[in-house]
Chains A and B, each alone.
Chain A
Amino acid sequence: MAHYYLRRTARVFITVFLVASLSFGLIRLLPGGPFTLLRANLLRQGVPASEVDARIANLQNIQPDAPLWRQYLDYMSAAAQGDFGTSISLDEPVAQIIAEAVPWTVFIVLVSTVLIFVFGILLGAIQAYWEGSRFDQLVSGVSITLMSIPFYVVAVLALFVFAYQFGWFPTAGTVGPTVDPGLTPEFVISALNHAALPIFSYTITGIGGQALAMRGNSIQVLGNDYVEVARLRGLSDRRIATRYVARNAILPLYTGFLLLLGFRLGGTVILEQIFSYPGLGYYMWSALESNDYPLMMGTFLVITVALVIGVYIADLTYGIIDPRISRGETDAY
C-alpha cells in the first residue's frame, strides 16, 4: 500500500522535471529572439529605427544571453524554489503575473468543468433510465451535435450575439473597469457577468460528451448481475439508481474529471484570447507571440503541474472510492 503511494509521488516529481526540461529545450528551438517583437512594436509606435536599436542594445546589456546550459541550470534551480524569473516583455516577476492570472482561469475552468459533470451526469443518468425513449434519442442527437462543435466557435458566436448585438454581457475583461477588487457584491456580480460567456461556451460543448459517457456506463451497469440481484432483493428503484447504478457508473468519470480540469487549462489559451480575458491562457499567448521565454516556461509549467497534480489526486483518492485499486487488484482504469 505504502509502496503504491510512494511510486505515485515519485512519478509526479519525475514527470514535472522531464516536462520542465523538455519545454525548456523546445522553447529555445523557436525561431527569433525575445526582442524581435519588441522591435516591431517600437517601430510601429513611430520610434526611428536607429533609436530602436539603441534602446534594445541598452536593454540587452543588462540581460545578456548566457550559455544554454547556464540558463538551464539557473532556471531549474530557481523554478524549484518557485521563482520563474522576470518576464522579458512585461518586466515583472513571472510568479506575480501568474499569481494574478491564475485565479481567473481556475474560476472559469473549475466552474465550467463542474457544470459539465453535473449536467452531463444528470442527463446521462436520465437517458439511461429512459433508454430508447424519445427523450433519450433527442438528447443523444443534441449531445453528438454539441460535441462536434469546437468551443471556440460557440465562443465567437456567443460573443457576437450576446455581447455585441444584444449587449447583455460585457465584451472583454474579468470585471468592470470601475469596480474595485474585493469581496463585495458589486465585484462578485461583475466577475460573474464577465465570466458568463466564457463559462457558457466552455460548458455547452462539453456536456454532451459526459452525458453520453454517463449513459453508456449506466446502461452497462444496469445489465450487471448485482443490479438484478438487488432488484430481486426488492430494493427500491431509487436506492438501486443512486447506490448501485450511479455510483458505479460515475466511477470511471471521476478520473476523467480531474484529467479534464488539467487539459481544459490548456484550452484557455484560445478561450481567453477570444474574450480578452487576462488569465493564464491569455498571458501564455502573449508570451508565445513575444518569445518571452520565462513567461512561456512559467505558464507551461503551471498547466503541466496542474495536470500532473490532477492525475496524482485521482491516483490517491481512487483507492478510496474503489477499494480494488488500493488492494492492488488492478492498476488500470
Chain B
Amino acid sequence: MTRNGNSGNTYVDRRRLLQAAGAVGVSALAGCSDNAASDDGASDDGGSENDSGSSDGSSGPEVLDTTMVSATNNGVPTNMHLNPIATQNYDDIVGAHVFERFVAYNFATQEFEMAGLEDWSVDGETFTLTIREDLNWENGEPVTARDLVTQFQLEKKTSGAIWDFAESVQAGDDEKTVVFELSEETNPRLLKYAIGSQSDRIYAYHPVYEEFLDQDASAVQQFEWEDDVVANGSFTFESKSDQAWTLARNEEYYNADNVNFSELQILQRADNTALQQGMRGGELDAMSSMFAPPNIANSMPDHVQEINTPAKWGYGIVFNHEHEHFGNQNVRQAIAHVLNREKIAQNAGPRTKRVPEVATAIAVDDQERWLGDQMDRYETYGPGTAQTDTAAELLRDAGYSKNDGVWENGDGDTISAQFATPSGWTDWTTATDTVVDQLNSFGLDLEIDSKPIGDFYGDYIESNFGMGAFYWLPGGARSSFPFYPLRWEMLCPDIDGGHGFPTDETTLPAIDGSGEMTINPLEEIREITSMTSDEEAAEIIRRVAWHHNQTLPLIPVTEKQEQTWISGQKFNTPDPDAPALGVKWATQWLPRIGEFTAAGN
C-alpha cells in the first residue's frame, strides 16, 4: 500500500463526495467544501482536515434512505449493552459507531489523527486534553470537561491505563479543557498511547454516569446501558433485537454531513463462516475484522475491497521458563533456529502473515526504525531456513544428545511436552501443525494439545504448560512503541506472568560482539517512562531488544495483517491507496470522513 501526502487526497475526498452527492444536492455540498477548505490541515489533525460541517447554517447533503449492513460476533444484541467500562457484554463493535474516540492512530502514517480531541499537549507534569469545540451529545449538549473528568475518575476505579502515570484529573480553564496532574514527568508517547487506542472512547455522559462516582467500581462495571443511550459518535442507538442492532445517523455529529445514509444495521452472526458468506453473498456491506484464508478472499466479488492493516499482534511461541527443558536458553535458541518461520507463514496464510526479520519484541514495521543501523547485529535465527546444525550444536553445548532420532538430556529425559493451542483459531491451528511437525522432525517429542479459549488461558495463567502458541505482541496502536511489547513479553500480564520469565539482572554477549554486557531488563525499560525524547529511549530499547533477542521470552513467528472488508455494491469506496485506510477500523472511520458514502443505486 503506498501512502502519499495529504493534499492530493483531500482533493480526491471532496471529488468523491461530490460524485456521491451529485444527484442529491450539489449546491449544498459546495457550501460544505468551502467550509472544509478553510480548516486547518495540520498533518496530525485528521478531524479538522475532514470537516465538512455546515456550521454556517446551510443544509448538508441529502441523506439517502440507505442502510449500511455490518455484523457483530460479540453476542446476541439483547444480551449486550453500550457501557464501555462494564466488565461484560459491552459490544465494542457497536460502541465504536456510537461513541467518538479521543484520537485515531493511523497505522499507515504512524501518526495520531485528532478526532474527539482538538489538541493534546504535555508540559512538565501536566497533560492537557482539549475537546473538540463542536463535539456534542446527540441531544445537542456539548461534550464538556465535566463528562471527561467523570469518565477518568470512574476509570481510576478500574485501573485505566492513564492512571499508571496520572495523579489527578480536573477541568481546565474552560469547559472544553481537561488537565491531568502527573506523578512525575512522563514520556509523552506513553500518555498518548494510554488514551489513544481504538477502544478508548468518550462515553461518560455526566448525567448518566455521575451516580457511580460515589459507588464501588463494581456498580459501574455492572451497569448495562441499554435504554436512552446518549451518543456522540456518527450514529445513535435506535433499537436492538435478538437479530441485530439498529443505529440511526446522528444529526448532531460534527461530521454528520459526511454521512449520507440514514441507517446502520449491525447483524448478529455467531461464526466466521457466516461472516465470510455474508460478505461474499452481498448480505453485508462492511465487516470491521474478519479472517478469510486466501481461497475465500479470492472468491470475493470484485466490488468487495479488502483492507489490510498491521495487527501489531501475531502467532508466537511461549515457553514455561520454569520447565526442565524450555527454561534452558540453549533449548529455546535451538528451537528458534529449527523453525522455518516463512514456511509457517506460508502455510497459515501467505497473504496476511508477515515474518519479523529480527526475533525480538518489536513489530515488523517498527524494527528498522528503532534498531537503526545496529539491526543486522541481531540474531535472525534464519527466518526462511531450518538451521538444524546450529540448533544441534546449541543442544550439545547444553548437555543434550540425540538417541534414536530424539534429543535427550544427561538423565535420559527427552524434550517432550504438550504444545498448547487454542481450538477454533483456524490459522493458528495450521501454524501449530507446521511448528510441531518441524520440531518433531528435528528430534523433539511434542504433541498438540488443542483447547477451548477459556481453558487455554487458564492453563497458561496457572503455569500448567511446557510450551505453546501465544501472541508475541500485545496488539493495537501501543504495540508500535517498543516500550510496551518489550515490557509485555517479560511480564506477560495477559496470562498473569504464568510463563515465569526471570527478569533479574543477567549477563549476555555484547551487541557489538566485544565481550559481555550486564542488563537488568525490567529496570532499564522502566526508565523510558520518564524519558521525554525518542533518542534517549532508543538506546534502552536497543539494549532490551537485544536481551530479548538472546533470551527469547517468546519466539516471534508471524505478525498478522488485519483484514477489514467493505463492499462497493451500494456504497462508494475509497482508493485502495487512500491513507485513511490506515485507521482501524475502516468500517467505522470511513463513513465519518465521507470516504464510504451511499451510492444511491
Hey, which bits of chain A sit against chain B, CB under 8 A? 31-33, 36-40, 42-43, 45-56, 58-59, 61-62, 89-92, 97, 100, 160, 164-165, 167, 171-178, 273, 276, 278, 282, 286, 289-291
Q: Which residue of B lies closest to A56 (CB)?
A: B87
Q: List 12 A-B contacts (CB under 8 A).
A: A39-B494, A43-B494, A45-B92, A46-B197, A50-B164, A59-B218, A90-B75, A92-B79, A164-B280, A176-B243, A273-B270, A291-B454
Shortest distance from the beta carbon of A121 to any chain B beta carbon, whole Å = 35
**Per-residue 0/1 for B152-182: is the Cβ within 8 Å of any A Cβ (1 yes, 0 no)?**
0000011111001000000000000000000
A89 to B88, CA, bound (A): 7
| B198 at interface, CB cutoff 8 A | yes
Residues of chain A within 8 A (CB-CB) of B160 are 51
Inter-chain contact B475/A36, CB cutoff 8 Å = no
Inter-chain contact B269/A172, CB cutoff 8 Å = yes
**Per-residue 0/1 for B246-279: is the Cβ within 8 Å of any A Cβ (1 yes, 0 no)?**
1000000000000000000101111100100110
Inter-chain contact A32/B458, CB cutoff 8 Å = yes
Hey, which bits of chain B sit against chain A, CB under 8 A? 75-76, 78-79, 87-90, 92, 157-161, 164, 197-199, 216-218, 221-222, 224, 241-244, 246, 265, 267-271, 274, 277-278, 280-281, 283, 452-459, 461, 474-476, 488, 493-494, 496
- Ordered nearest first, which 3 A-B pairs have the shortest CB separation? A49-B493, A177-B244, A32-B458
Given A51-B160, A91-B224, A177-B267, the answer on whether A36 and B458 have CB atoms closer than 8 Å is: yes
Inter-chain contact B277/A160, CB cutoff 8 Å = yes
Residues of chain B within 8 A (CB-CB) of A178 are 246
Residues of chain B within 8 A (CB-CB) of A51 are 158-161
A333 to B159, CA, bound (A): 64
Inter-chain contact A91/B242, CB cutoff 8 Å = no
Inter-chain contact B493/A50, CB cutoff 8 Å = yes
A76 to B493, CA, bound (A): 38
A282 to B75, CA, bound (A): 11
Residues of chain A within 8 A (CB-CB) of B488 are 49
Residues of chain B within 8 A (CB-CB) of A48 are 161, 474, 493
The secondary structure that dominates the B interface is: mixed
Residues of chain B within 8 A (CB-CB) of A37 are 453-454, 457
5 new A-B contacts, CB < 8 A, other than A43-B494, A51-B160, A173-B267, are A40-B454, A89-B89, A91-B222, A164-B278, A172-B269
Shortest distance from the beta carbon of A176 to any chain B beta carbon, whole Å = 7
Given A172-B243, A174-B242, the answer on whether A289 and B270 have CB atoms closer than 8 Å is: no
A39 to B76, CA, bound (A): 19
Most chain B CB within a 10 A radius of its CB, from A92, A177, A178: A177
A50 to B89, CA, bound (A): 19
Q: Which residue of B lies closest to A48 (CB)?
A: B161
A289 to B452, CA, bound (A): 7
Q: How many A-B pairs fall under 8 Å by CB?
A: 150
Inter-chain contact A58/B241, CB cutoff 8 Å = no
Residues of chain B within 8 A (CB-CB) of A278 are 76, 242
Shortest distance from the beta carbon of B117 to any chain A beta carbon, whole Å = 18
Inter-chain contact B458/A31, CB cutoff 8 Å = yes
Inter-chain contact A55/B221, CB cutoff 8 Å = yes
Inter-chain contact B475/A54, CB cutoff 8 Å = no
Shortest distance from the beta carbon of B264 to any chain A beta carbon, whole Å = 12
A219 to B281, CA, bound (A): 49
A181 to B461, CA, bound (A): 44
A47 to B199, CA, bound (A): 7
Inter-chain contact B88/A177, CB cutoff 8 Å = no
Shortest distance from the beta carbon of A172 to any chain B beta carbon, whole Å = 6
Inter-chain contact B281/A165, CB cutoff 8 Å = yes
Q: Which residue of B lies closest to A164 (CB)?
A: B277
Residues of chain B within 8 A (CB-CB) of A36 are 453-455, 457-458, 461
Choose one: A50, A58, A167; the contact of B87 (CB below 8 Å): A58
Residues of chain A within 8 A (CB-CB) of B224 are 91
Q: Which residue of B lies closest to A87 (CB)?
A: B79
Inter-chain contact A171/B89, CB cutoff 8 Å = no
Given A45-B92, A177-B265, A276-B270, the answer on whether A55 and B455 have CB atoms closer than 8 Å is: no
Residues of chain A within 8 A (CB-CB) of B88 are 38, 59, 89-91
Shortest distance from the beta carbon of B316 to any chain A beta carbon, whole Å = 15
Most chain B CB within a 10 A radius of its CB, from A40, A55, A165: A55
A40 to B470, CA, bound (A): 12
Inter-chain contact A54/B243, CB cutoff 8 Å = no
Residues of chain B within 8 A (CB-CB) of A100 are 78
Residues of chain A within 8 A (CB-CB) of B265 are 177
Given A43-B494, A50-B493, A172-B243, the answer on whether A91 and B89 have CB atoms closer than 8 Å is: yes
Residues of chain A within 8 A (CB-CB) of B268 are 172-173, 276
Residues of chain A within 8 A (CB-CB) of B283 are 164, 171
Residues of chain A within 8 A (CB-CB) of B198 are 46
Inter-chain contact A53/B197, CB cutoff 8 Å = no
Q: Which residue of B lies closest to A32 (CB)?
A: B458
Residues of chain A within 8 A (CB-CB) of B218 are 58-59, 61-62
Residues of chain B within 8 A (CB-CB) of A174 are 242-243
Inter-chain contact A49/B494, CB cutoff 8 Å = yes
Residues of chain B within 8 A (CB-CB) of A290 are 454
Residues of chain B within 8 A (CB-CB) of A32 are 452, 454-455, 457-459
Residues of chain A within 8 A (CB-CB) of B493 are 48-50, 53
Shortest distance from the beta carbon of B202 to any chain A beta carbon, whole Å = 16
Q: Which residue of B lies closest to A37 (CB)?
A: B454
Shortest distance from the beta carbon of A329 to any chain B beta carbon, whole Å = 50
A100 to B79, CA, bound (A): 11
Shortest distance from the beta carbon of B498 to any chain A beta carbon, whole Å = 12
Inter-chain contact A46/B246, CB cutoff 8 Å = no
A276 to B456, CA, bound (A): 25
A239 to B454, CA, bound (A): 62
Inter-chain contact A54/B159, CB cutoff 8 Å = yes
Shortest distance from the beta carbon of B301 to any chain A beta carbon, whole Å = 13
Q: Which residue of B lies closest to A276 (CB)?
A: B270
Inter-chain contact A46/B454, CB cutoff 8 Å = no
Inter-chain contact B270/A177, CB cutoff 8 Å = no
